[in-house]
Amino acid sequence: VYRSKELRRWKRNASPLYTSRAAIMVECPDLFPVVRPDTEEGRLDYASIAATGAVRHVLKLSVMNTTQDYYAVGRYDDTADTFTPQEDVERNIDDCRTWRRIDYGHVYASKSFFDAGKNRRVLWAWANESDSQADDIARGWSGVQTVPRKVWLDGDGKQLRQWPIEEIETLRRKQVISLLGAQVNAGGINEIVGAGAQADVEAVFEIPSLEEAESFDPIWLLDPQKLCADKGASAFGLLVMASSDLREYTSVFFRVFKYNQKYKVLMCTDLTRSTTRANVYKPSYGGFVDMDIEEHKRSISLRTLIDHSMVESFGGGGRTCITARVYPKHVEKSDSHMYLFNNGTGVVKVSRLEAWKLATATINAVPRGS
C-alpha cells in the first residue's frame, strides 16, 4: 500500500521505498486514473464511478537503482489516501521492480498529463545518450524526449497500452510502400526501399503455423533481454538504420514460444550490430507481449518510428514498447536502409505493410527573453 502523501514528498525529493530486502530509490512518481478497460478516452464519467466505485488508478515509479520506469494498476482509496496494486500472479506487488515496465528499452523519468482538448492521457519520457561524453560535447546537447504517446488501459484490465499521438501522422510525407498479403520466406530478407533514417512503418505479421514454436522455459521470464541476445533463435521483424552491406543494423523482432498449452510472444530490439563505432552502449532489449496470439488469428502488429538516433517500437498494438538510441557510422557518408527479415524455418506472412518517410517536426519554442 502506498500513501499519496508519500508520493507528494517523492515529487520534491527522490526518496527510498523500503521493502523486506533493501531500500529502492524512486523518483518522478505519477498517479492517475484510467477509464474502464479498452476505452481510449481519458476523461472519467464521475457519475457512473460514484455509482459503481469501479475507477482504477495507475501508479508509475522511476527507480534510480535500475534507471527504469515501472507501473501497476490498482485502486486509490481517497478516504484512506492509499494506493493498492491489484494482484498479479506473475509479479510481487510489494516490490515495484517486478511491476510492468512503461518501456523495455532506453527510457526513464516518464510523466503524463491529461489533454482535455482531445480527451486523452499523454505520456512523455526521457531517452538519454548511449555514446560517450565527448560525443555529447561535440553535439552541444545531450538527451531527447520520446514522441508523445496516448495511454489507456487494455481490455484485460491489467496493463497499459501506448501509441504515438495522432499528430505524429501529420509528419508523414512520401509513402514508400503499401502492401497487403506479402510474405517473407524462411531465411529471407526483403528491402523496404526508400524508408531512410526518418520513417514511420506499420506491419502486421501472421504466422501460418505455430506447431513448430520453441518450447518455453519458465526461468526465461526472469531475463527476456538474455533471450533477445540469442543469435541462433528463430525470429522475424525489421532491420532498421542498416548500412547497404549490412555490417550495421538494428533489429526489431518477435519470437514465439509454446508455454502451458498456450503461446508466449517475446519482443526485442537488438543493438549489438547497430554500429561499428567504439565506446557505444549496444545491448539487446526485450519484453514479453501480454496477448493471446491465437485469439488474434496468429498475428501480431509492429509500429516503428525511426528518427536518426531514436528507434521507438510498439508491439501488439502498443502492449509492449521498446525505445533505443543508435549511432551507426555509415550515416556519415551514406543513406540508411530498412528490411523485413525472417530467420526461421517457415514462411511468415505480412498481411499489411505500410511505410512513410517522415518530415522533421517544427518545435514551437519561445524565444529567450520573451
The per-residue pLDDT for range 122-158, each reduced to its tens digit, is 999 999 999 999 999 999 999 999 999 999 999 999 9
**In terms of domains, do 236 and 296 share one?**
yes
Number of domains in the chain: 2
Of 114, 140, 162, the last residue of a domain is: 162
Residue 49 has what pLDDT? 58
My answer on whether 188 and 337 are in the same domain is yes
User: Do 189 and 121 have their domain in common?
Assistant: no
Cell of 216: 518455453
Q: Within a domain: residue 363?
A: no
The answer to whether residue 250 is domain-embedded is yes
Q: Are residues 36 and 75 in the same domain?
A: yes
Assess whether 158 and 176 both reside in one domain: no
pLDDT recorded at residue 12: 43
Tell me the average pLDDT across 342-350.
Answer: 93
Domain end point (choices 162, 185, 218): 162
Residue 162's pLDDT is: 98
CATH of the domain at 123: 2.115.10.20
Same domain assignment for residues 231 and 139 = no
Q: Which residue, of 136, 162, 188, is where some domain finishes? A: 162
203-235: b or e for each residue (b if 16 or more CB lie within 10 Å)?
Answer: bbbbbeeeeebeebeeebeeebeebbbeeebbb
Three-state SS sequence of the chain: CEEHHHHHHHHHCCEEEECCCCEEEEEEEEEEEECCCCCCCCCCCHHHHHHHCCCEEEEEEEECCCCEEEEEEEEEECCCCEEEECCCCCCCCCCHHHCEECCCCCCEEEEEEEECCCCEEEEEEEECCCCCHHHHHHHCCCCEECCCEEEEECCCCCCEEEEECHHHHHHEEEEEEEEEEEEECCCEEEECCCCCCEEEEEEEEECCCCCCCEECCHHHHHCHHHHHCCCCCCCEEEEEEECCCCCCCEEEEEEEEEECCEEEEEEEEECCCCCCCCCCCCCEEEEEECCCCCCCCCEEEEEEEEECCEEEEEECCCCEEEEEECCCHHHHCCCCEEEEEECCCCCEEEEEEEEEEECCCCCCCCCCCC
What is the domain range of residue 235?
A: 172-358
The per-residue pLDDT for range 292-324, each reduced to its tens digit, is 999 999 999 999 999 999 999 999 999 999 999
Asked whether 243 and 235 are in contact (CB, 8 A), the reply is no
pLDDT at 9 over 50: no
Mean pLDDT of 41-70: 78
143 lies in the same domain as 238: no
Q: What is the mean pLDDT of the chain?
A: 89
Verdict on whether the full-model pTM lies above 0.95: no
Residue 99 within any structural domain of the chain = yes
Do the domain assignments include residue 78?
yes
Q: Is 116 a residue whose pLDDT tops 50?
A: yes
Q: In what order do the strands lie in the sheet with 310-315?
A: 172-184, 348-358, 198-206, 299-307, 310-315, 320-325
